[in-house]
Amino acid sequence: MRRPVRLMLTGGGTGGHLFPAIATADAMCSRVPGSEILFVGTRRKMDKASIEQYGYATCSIHSKGLKGKNLWSLVQGLLVLPVSCVEAMFHVLRFKPDLVVGVGGYVTGPVVVAARLLGKPTLIHEQNSVPGLANRKLGGIVTRICLSLPGSEKSFPRGKTVLTGNPVRRELLKLAGKCVGKHEINRTLLILGGSLGAHRVNEIVCAAFALGVPALKNIQVIHQTGRIDTETVRKSYQASGVKARVAPFFKDMAAIYKEADLLVSRAGATTLAELSVLGKPALLIPYPHAADSHQEKNAEYYVQGGGARMFLEEKLTPEILAEQLAELLNDSEELNTMGRAMRERAFPKAAERIVDECLALLKGTEKTNSDGVW
């Protein structure tokens, strides 16, 4: 019987960082009932709202990114670092966590450093095939490093890494394994631009349908456009005579994924983890400006397994995309084959594996009391 864990999670800036953290928190609370969770994140309202809807407490620190910034932004980021560290130490001292887990993003650095200075065991989780700047720098000081994809261990000290996979939200895990998609008459195509760089994806997809390819006439489209392009995309589908449901964002992603037979998507690590757990075939268009081309490398893992096809944005034309969509959406056998291949690359127990590592660290740092409780 384990006593409840006080777990501090830190990270954010995109849903790709937050959702795995939420899944890890859920897994910890399920494994060790009564555990207390605190998220230390950015000051973005979206981050705070995303976490609080799952019932977890949040707080924030002042922090700014450093990589890829102009000189003035870099100076601002460096100047705010001492403030970030002091604020992080305050939150660690106040919450008194048993363990601090970082999931990436610039806010992770000060919090994990503060935790180490205060003698707390620390663990980081890396979602991408190419680790971000914060996690690379933290790799030398943390106790354990959990990885989502094979190959990324090359960026970290030997002996600290363990392959766990990338955690997926509980509502999507519940959906996995059920009969989803596979509409034999009117197939459904889902387009996800991602939190960055959706505009060009929106343009290419709309232009592909505007070609009027006969094989795409009966396709149903669900298109998540991002904030800017919603009306433009909606009007484009109307002009092309395409039945489409268009929105900036969809809150109930489980319901949306359930309908999809094929996706056109960026190659963010968390989206790919979700697609693999659900067994969803995809045409991937990596965001070309992602740091260290990590989206392209993320995609390669799933392409090599046969579950996805990748197209570099600068080489992808509406004609090529229309041809690929027409081919796949009219080939049930290939869609099913790709779906199975996608699922073979999934890590459905990723959150549980991370919790395993957390509890193993705590066993090594806590003294056993007379009842055998760590």
Give the model confidence (pLDDT) of 191-209 as tens digits: 997 655 588 999 999 999 9
Strand-pair category, 6-10 with 99-102: parallel
Residue 33: the pLDDT is 94
Residue 243 structure tokens: 């039945």
pLDDT band at 180 (very low <50, low <70, confident <90, very high): low
Of 125-129, 144-148, 225-229, 324-328, which range is least confident?
225-229
Residue 38 structure tokens: 């605190």
176 vs 144: CA distance, rounded Å: 29
Q: In the chain, how long is the greatest CA-to-CA distance?
A: 74
Q: Would you give the distance in Å from CA 250 to the centre of its chain?
A: 16
Is-contact 182 261, C-beta < 8 A?
yes
pLDDT band at 77 (very low <50, low <70, confident <90, very high): low
218 vs 242: CA distance, rounded Å: 8
24 vs 11: CA distance, rounded Å: 13
Residue 73: the pLDDT is 55
Residue 139: the pLDDT is 92
What 240-249 contacts at long range (C-beta under 8 Å, 24+ apart), as own/partner pairs, is: 240/206, 240/209, 240/210, 240/212, 241/217, 242/209, 242/216, 243/186, 243/219, 244/220, 245/220, 245/221, 247/223, 248/224, 249/224
- The count of other CB atoms within 10 Å of the CB of residue 287 is 22
Q: What is the mean pLDDT of the chain?
A: 87
Q: What contacts 292, CB < 8 A, 6 or more positions away?
A: 130
pLDDT band at 184 (very low <50, low <70, confident <90, very high): low
Identify the top-confidence range among 5-14, 36-45, 217-226. Answer: 217-226
Residue 65: the pLDDT is 57
Q: What contacts 340, CB < 8 A, 6 or more positions away?
A: 279, 307
Residue 370: the pLDDT is 34
Each residue of 270-296: pLDDT tens digit? 899 999 999 999 999 999 888 778 899
Domains in the chain with CATH codes: 6-168+348-365 (3.40.50.2000), 173-344 (3.40.50.2000)
Of 45-49, 56-60, 132-136, 260-264, which range is least confident?
45-49
126 vs 112: CA distance, rounded Å: 14
* pLDDT reading at 135 higher than 70: yes
